[in-house]
Structure 1
Amino acid sequence: MKRGLIAATAVAGLLVSVAACGSSDGKTGADGKDKSLTVWVMSGSNPAQWTKQVSDEFKKKTGATVKFEVQEWNGIQQKLTTALSEDTPPDVVEIGNTQTAAYAKAGALLDVGDLKKEIGGDWSEAINSASIVDGKQYALPWYAGNRVVMYNKKIWKEAGITDLPKTRNELFKAFETIGKKTDAEPLYLPGQNWYFFDGLTIGTGAELVKKDGNKWVSNMADTKVSKAMDIYKQYQAFSKAPKNKDEATPQQANVFAKGKTGAIIAMGYEAATAIKANPAIKNDIGFFTIPGETADKPEGVFLGGSNFAVAGGSAKQDLAKEFLKIALSKKNDAQMVKEVGWTPKSPDLASAAKDNPAAAAAAPAAQKSGGTTPLIPQWGAVENVPNPIKDYMTAVLNGKAPADAAKDVEGEINKRLAQQ
């Protein structure tokens, strides 16, 4: 999942800026005749049919026009920070789920708890939790996705594997079989697939940070983090991928597209990337839920995605709320699942997932084993490039003891957590 990361110092500046410009009293009403509503979305977020449906419904209901403005991920932190502090900010903004806490703390977002009730949002707690800060709902979840096993059916058939794995051990045995009976690499997993590792920490119940008095500090030395890293190491042993690179360098979907890889741990939309690189592989792609230690509970997964929020300084807050009612209706949420393959946010969307194999594979883990990175404003700084947790992962894969690798990075992590 592409997600920008926010510099804590930049967001802190919003506290002054938003207070200075004030926020709308929201009394413009939902009558939008001859008006337009500005909605910022990130590149690739708003699929064509969903956009048309929402735009048409919004026009019919309010008389207003939605003006979608597509933003690039590169540099979005500073651009959004600046925009939200101006007198005429975009009315509705897409914000990465790990960014929401920072903007809410800065006073840049409208409390939309009443709107969640009106929509009747029965979103899973794991997906909705990233929208809540200090007990208040400052955004609403738009879409979320989690990783699945994307596998090459042709290779698995060649290896004689007929039943998909239901447990982690069964998955490892399948990888062993592929390695013995085919010339394919069983799994392509680079050493720094950080979000897959984060999912493993969720599965082991690890906390990456802890409170020391009134401040947050690293908890990387915890044995539960070490256990998650040991599981990652077991996965990575089936791969020849570099231990000091992530899944985007090179794009793992392009590696998979060559037809010599048994599986990758992927987001569902990566199938389209593979097919674009090699159309002939289209019918060979399959998906299944990442299995956990036991068959009744899938592996822990990171739920990456985006929220919709109303700018605190918007002069069209009532109109913005009408947009969110439409954009996040069950009908349009289902369209996002079907069209893109995002993870269903609620049980009612399960039927929509049936039309998209990747979404269907993602759903069980999202509902039973999903989670996020620490939901604190300071967390964004930890993930900023270069991410010290990636250095930890590479060090362990190269043979360093997890406790020693944790010591090597916790100073940098604590420094970042101390940013205000």
Structure 2
Amino acid sequence: MKAWRALAATAALSLTLAGCGGGPGASDNTLTVWLMDGSAEDALIAELNAEFEQSHPGMKVDYQVQQWNGIQDRLTTALASDDPPDVIELGNSQNPQFSAEGTLLDLTADAEALNKPQWVPALAESGAWEGKQYGVPFYAANRVVVYNKELFDKAGITQLPTNREELLGAIAKLEQTHGADPEFQSLYLPGQSWYALLSFIWDSGGELAVPEGPNYKGALDTEQARDGIAYYQQLVKESGTLAPADTDEAEPQQAEVYAKGKVAMMIALPWEVQTAAEQNPRIAEISGAFPIPSKFPGRTAPVFLGGSNLAIPAGSADAEAAKDYLKLLTSQKYQTKIAESGVVPGASQDTSALEGNPVSAAMAIASKSGKVPPAVPQWAAVEAGQNPLKDMMTAVLTGQKSIVDATMEANDKIDQLLAAKN
């Protein structure tokens, strides 16, 4: 994600945004709502908008679907304009930047009415800034271990792994049974799957960054973080994965690799099973999932909780109506519908609607240990561009650097990025 302050002055000259009208601060009885492509099913939005319009006679919802590609610039432009949308969706790691700039409405006093007691804690954290709430949790998803039931059955694995040692034990059985096949992989694990790596770092008690006064500093150069990295390295070694050490799960798409039926496990988002099924319809029938195992008995490993928040631009001409819209969307009725679409509802801790699908059910269980990176504006710069975590893992897995040297170098780069001004 790009730092956006420098773009604000020029972006308004180059983009013309739909949904503008009525002049600065003037309501035109239209509530403009920006949600992202794929975030909510059409039927849900149609019902939501109809219910809102019925309770607000004379007001219409101008619902606009936005694409993730380029959304940072579009939000920058919209929030800097005199006539922004009234409700927006933004990634939870984007939220701190816009909160810090003062371009989002302070919703602290409205939080209880927006179902705050049921918010997913990690998402709530991402929408907070300096003790105030600017973002409301919308939905989230997290990774699980997706596995091929047939390959597990043939290897005689009757109990799913519940801790790190059991996961290594399952890999050993899979390798013993199927390892003669040169295309077989007990675990497909790319070298730069840093979202998966976070689970092992956090599970070992490590952190990416920690507070230092009013700022943050990198925390990879600790024994705990290195323990998580070492376990990742062990998984790569013992699984015999054929995944590249210098790319992530998108290059190639790991779902397409899994679809071939020669991969026993992958650490993936639930919908990657459906992506695989587009190539091999049968793969959905023979796939199951379990939470990423912890090193500690009775726990599941913490997981990166990626998702979206909802916010109201500070310049909204219909802020009160926008709050009413958010009240509807965060109500149990619509949060249940969000869960039924296959994601973790952000404003409800009731995930029972996900229990019907084994992969989604595993995601729901794992989400209870969800975490997010530091909720500071500068963190977006760490994820964007040449992510130090990715470079670190490639260096370790290819033998270019020891874990100690690689973590020290990555930590220095994170320090520099976190110290930079927006």
Shared fold (TM-score greater than 0.5)?
yes
3-state SS of paired residue (2:288): strand
Within 2, Cα distance between the matches of 1:155 and 1:383?
Answer: 35
In 2, distance between residues paired with 1:262 and 1:398?
Answer: 23
The equivalences for 1:86-125 within 5 A come to: 86-121=81-116, 122-125=118-121
Question: Who is 2:293 aligned against?
Answer: 291
Cα deviation code 1:350-385 (max 9, x no counterpart): 321213333311222221x22111111110011111
Rounded Cα–Cα distance in structure 2 between residues aligned with 1:199 and 1:144: 16
Quote the offset at 1:234 in angstroms: 2.0
| Cα distance in 2 for residues equivalent to 1:47 and 1:293 | 38
Q: Residue 194 of structure 1 contacts residue 389 of structure 1 at CA under 8 Å; is this kept in 2?
A: yes
Counterpart in 1 of 2:145? 149
Change over 3 Å in CA distance of 1:294–1:418 after alignment to 2:
closer
* Inter-partner Cα distance in structure 1 for 2:108 and 2:354: 27
Corresponding residue SS for 2:216: strand
The aligned runs of 1:71-90 (5 Å cut-off) are 71-90=66-85
Paired residues, number: 400
Q: Taking structure 1 as reference, are residues 303 and 185 closer, same or farther at Cα in structure 2, changes over 3 Å only?
A: same
Q: Deviations over 1:380-419 (max 9, x none)?
A: 0111112111000111112322221123334433332232
Deviation for aligned residue 1:316: 0.9
* Letter matched to residue 33 of structure 2: V
Query: Residues 347 and 88 of structure 1: is their aligned pair in 2 closer, same or farther, counting only changes over 3 Å?
Result: closer
* Cα deviation, residue 53, structure 1: 2.7
Alignment of 1:248-397 (within 5 A): 248-339=250-341, 341-345=342-346, 348-367=349-368, 369-397=369-397
**Match of 2:221?**
221
Contact 2:332 2:348 in 1 (8 A): no
Residues 264-310 of structure 1: CA distance to partner in whole angstroms, max 9, x if unpaired?
10111212211112223221121111121233110111111000000
1:253 is aligned with what amino acid?
A
Equivalents in 2 of 1:171, 1:409: separation in Å? 28
Decide whether the 8 Å contact of 2:148 with 2:288 is kept in 1: yes
Fraction of identical pairs, as percent: 40
Contact 2:25 2:83 in 1 (8 A): no
Alpha-carbon distance in structure 2 between the residues aligned to 1:346 and 1:296: 26
For residue 49 of structure 1, report the CA deviation from its aligned partner.
Answer: 3.0
Tell me, yes or no, if the aligned pair for 1:202 and 1:370 is still in contact at 8 Å: no
1:62 corresponds to: 56
Trace 1:118-133 onto structure 2 (pairs within 5 A). Answer: 118-121=113-116, 122-133=118-129
Q: Which amino acid aligns with 1:101?
A: P
Q: Which sits farther off after the overlay, 269-278 or 57-66?
A: 57-66
Deviation of residue 151 (structure 1)?
Answer: 1.0
Partner residue in 1 for 2:13: none
1:25 deviates by: 12
Amino acid at match of 1:111: D
Q: Distance in 1 between matches of 2:53 and 2:105?
A: 23
Task: Tell me which moved more, 159-168 or 321-330.
Answer: 159-168
The range that moved more, 191-200 or 304-313, is 191-200
Gaps of 5+ in 2: 11-22
Identify which of 42, 47, 57 aligns with 2:41.
Answer: 47
Query: Quick one: distance in 1 between partners of 2:350 and 2:165?
Result: 31
Indicate the SS of the match to 2:410.
helix
> TM-score, structure 2 length as denominator?
0.88
How far did residue 13 of structure 1 move?
6.9
Q: 1:9 to 1:412 in 2, by over 3 A?
A: farther
Tell me, what secondary structure is at the counterpart of 2:344? Answer: coil
Deviations 1:124-167 (A, max 9, x none): 32232111111111010000111111111121112222221222
1:170 and 2:166 matched: yes
Structure 1: how far apart are the matches of 2:235 and 2:42? 37
Tell me the residue number matched to 1:17: none
Runs of 5+ unmatched residues, structure 1: 15-23, 29-33
1:8–1:380 Cα contact (<8 Å) kept: no
- Between the aligned partners of 1:294 and 1:220, the Cα distance in structure 2 is 21
Within 5 Å, give how 1:184-199 maps onto structure 2: 184-199=184-199
SS at match of 2:391: helix
Please state whether the residue corresponding to 2:350 is helix, strand or coil.
Answer: helix
SS of corresponding position for 1:192 = coil
Aligned to 1:416: 417
Pairwise CA distance, 1:220: 2.2
SS at match of 2:351: helix
Compared with structure 1, are the counterparts of its residues 13 and 373 closer, same or farther at alpha carbon in structure 2 (3 Å cutoff)?
farther
Residue 349 of structure 1 aligns to a residue whose secondary structure is coil
Which residue number corresponds to residue 19 of structure 1? Answer: none
In the alignment, the residues of structure 2 paired with residue 78 and residue 346 of structure 1 have an alpha-carbon distance, to the nearest angstrom, of 27
CA distance in 2, matches of 1:195, 1:115: 33
Q: Distance in 1 between matches of 2:385 and 2:8?
A: 20
Deviating 4+ runs (over 4 angstroms): 11-14, 24-28, 211-215, 344-348
Distance 1:39 1:347, change over 3 A: closer
| Cα distance in 2 for residues equivalent to 1:128 and 1:392 | 30
1:13/1:108 CA distance change after superposition, 3 Å: farther
